Amino acid sequence: MRALLLAVGDDTYAVPIEAAREVLAATSITGLPTAPPAVLGLCNVRGEIIPVFDPGVLLGLGPVPATAAVAIIETVLGPAGLAIGAMGEAVELGELVGHSEGVATRGAFAIETGLAVLIDVEMLLAPARVAS
């Protein structure tokens, strides 16, 4: 399966390549003062306003320490941005090497540099999870 790698803190996660639209470097994020902790704000992508989320908070890892890029992901509710620590890279996931106990994840897969945990995008960005 092809996937886009996402650096979330010191960990490597992945989203199915079909869900990934693009990765933007150094995009400006406008904060929303009363938003839940998982919502970093909004970004303007060629005139389209897209919410940006902190995948570290949504995965229960704590806030992403620094945002180097935003991965734009297509969901059933529309596009969403995930703040990541490094530019994403498209790779072929190897075999499933273990199940993941993490929230909104589908398992750990082998990649050239180690392991990547596959994210269930719809579960990660479900409105009930984002609002808490």
For 80-120, how does the pLDDT look when each residue is reduced to its tens digit (9 = 90+)?
999 998 888 999 999 999 998 888 999 999 999 899 999 99
Residue type, 125: L
Residue of 47, 46, 45 whose CA lies nearest to 71 = 45
pLDDT confidence of residue 121: 95
Residue of 41, 44, 23 whose CA lies nearest to 32 = 41
What DSSP designation does 11 have? E
User: What's the Rg (C-alpha) of the chain?
Assistant: 14
Residue 131 in this model has a pLDDT that exceeds 90: no
pLDDT, tens digit, 9 for 90 and up, residues 14-33: 999 999 999 999 789 999 99
**Angle CA 72–92–80, to nearest 5:** 10
pLDDT, tens digit, 9 for 90 and up, residues 28-63: 999 999 999 999 999 999 999 999 999 999 999 999
* CB burial string 99-117: b at 16+ within 10 A, e below: ebebebbbbbbebeeebbb
To which residue do tokens 């890029």 refer? Answer: 69
